[in-house]
Chains A and B, each alone.
Chain A
């Protein structure tokens, strides 16, 4: 079923909407959730939370890309679950990712001015646009889709050590960019 039709069904409050979304994007939701959360049951709950959020947010939301929208909800649900689980540190996928992302946190500037989330997104978006398409893609695969470095190495026919170095340089580049833009987070 076309995305537009699925969204129309959500607007009509038809339960067929959820079924259609699950059928079309269920595998993708599970894959993203499993990459972020270690325990299968956590991933399952995360996907359930996603469907609930989908039902509750469309309408009023009317996403241009249903696929991206659902994946965003998965990420949001996964990070919420991660926060609950933080005490026992069991979510290796997201823990590793956050640990890597902490390398991108800019050093504090003298003028402390914490920016809004949407502005931070804009800065990251601008930075991504400074990159080659290859670099942009590997970064987004790693930190948006949550693919492991090994998976990305296979997808891009790269040697794992080279990709690891490349990722390290990308994180340093993002950090430098955010600092240059005077971003405090």
Chain B
């Protein structure tokens, strides 16, 4: 009997929940009960992304060489994390208890203010994606946020102030604390969900520059960033850097990363990566795949659609329809703009952002959704030196205005000479290896569904957003050409 399975499953609920509900006779009648409803989902999908800031110097180095390829000035220690239970585990209940307690502890605290991150995400995506209406786009707001926070640590005066303002903070201590909480909230490597964050600094190993140890320590302890030194500009050092990046993005961005190199003038490279992988909570059945037409600005093409009918929440607003598909503890929003609305226009919509950032400003209904979504694999490479000035971050790019004294006091005229962001996400029936998923669509997206069943066919350009349990935007993108 199915109810007995529920009974058994409830029996195995973790101790913390059971203890919380234990009845103890109260000393006096409670006066006020607050109720806060918060929804969270389980995610699964995979994706990867890398971000780099290369600090250059206007002065040429003296050409000194060092014997070693790279050595670690500071190695960050990652926090130990409990592993999720898997089939065949001994002592599963205990293991599950430990894991679930940790999951709860890693949630963002109730008083965590996400307004800075949320407004930064909106401004970033709007600046990055602009009004280009033909190319696939993708970026990772969480990754860029983390990289900019680290950049703020290495700067001072107006250089730092501009970054803090863009991230919605007023002081570095608050940003540091929030970035650390965010890192721990996003990072998952428990055998169930994989969201890997990795940060690093690549320093010059010659005598020309010495680096402020306290700053390297701060970056290691709060951002889990390791610092390496080596012969800047050498092919061997570049190769170590590329290997590190490929390793932390599971080779998903290999094509982009293999073209990256640091030249001799580089004073420091700051690299931040994110890699995400997971499975759909409810996988697609490949036997139901169909080949059909996808209509894009570039013309019609035949692509493979994955199809699924499940009871899900269907969301609609004045210019889009959407659904979210779970990927373990993450979820992927699939947002289909109405006919005549470009995906880029959606990114200007408050109701869109409210929905994906955990608000509830749009209409929704729980009903049978016939979802049809193309398999896709999108990647992008963005030059941040173009995009960040639009967010008010300018001084770090200007050798005469920048202030990198928290990093080093040895050189003058240090500035950000390169700033790259690369991202890729792909989805398939299982969801793994860079997956994003979108469900939305349907003939008249802005209207409420008329009955208990709705078709959502993503057969024209659409938007996807991959968020974690606490609605942190790991990836945002637009699909114009699925394959």
Contact = CB atoms under 8 A, between A and B. Distances in A.
Nearest to B42: A126
A3 to B, nearest CB: 11
A159 to B, nearest CB: 14
A4 to B, nearest CB: 14
Interface string A83-124: 100000000001001110110111101110100111011111
Contacts of B21: 136-141, 144-145
Contact of B8 (A67, A79, A97, A132): A79
Contact of B309 (A67, A97, A98, A109): A109
Interface stretch (A10-18, A19-27, A45-53, A176-184): A176-184
Contacts of B100: 122, 125
B207 interface: no
B5 A117 contact: yes
A34 interface: no
B104 interface: yes
Given A79-B7, A101-B6, A110 B13 contact: no
B6 A134 contact: no
A97 B15 contact: no
Interface of A is mostly: helix
B214 interface: no
A101 to B, nearest CB: 4
Contacts of B14: 125
Contacts of B92: 118
Interface residues of A, number: 66
Nearest to A107: B311
Contact of A133 (B20, B97, B312): B20
Interface string B1-40: 1111111111111110111111100000110011111111
A101 B7 contact: yes
Contact of B23 (A62, A65, A145, A185): A145
B285 interface: yes
A62 B90 CA distance: 11
A147 B22 CA distance: 11
Nearest to B35: A132
B85 interface: yes
Interface in A20-61: 60-61
Nearest to A73: B11
Interface of B: 1-15, 17-23, 29-30, 33-42, 85, 87, 90-94, 96-98, 100, 104, 280-285, 308-313, 326, 329, 366
* Ranked 10 nearest A-B pairs via Cβ: A182-B282, A140-B21, A120-B9, A65-B15, A179-B311, A132-B35, A102-B3, A101-B3, A68-B15, A98-B3
Given A109-B310, A155-B23, 7 more contacts: A68-B19, A76-B8, A121-B96, A129-B40, A133-B20, A144-B18, A180-B310
24 contacts: A72-B11, A75-B11, A79-B7, A105-B2, A105-B6, A107-B311, A109-B311, A111-B282, A118-B85, A121-B9, A124-B6, A124-B10, A125-B17, A129-B40, A130-B38, A134-B33, A139-B21, A143-B10, A144-B17, A145-B22, A157-B29, A180-B311, A182-B281, A183-B281
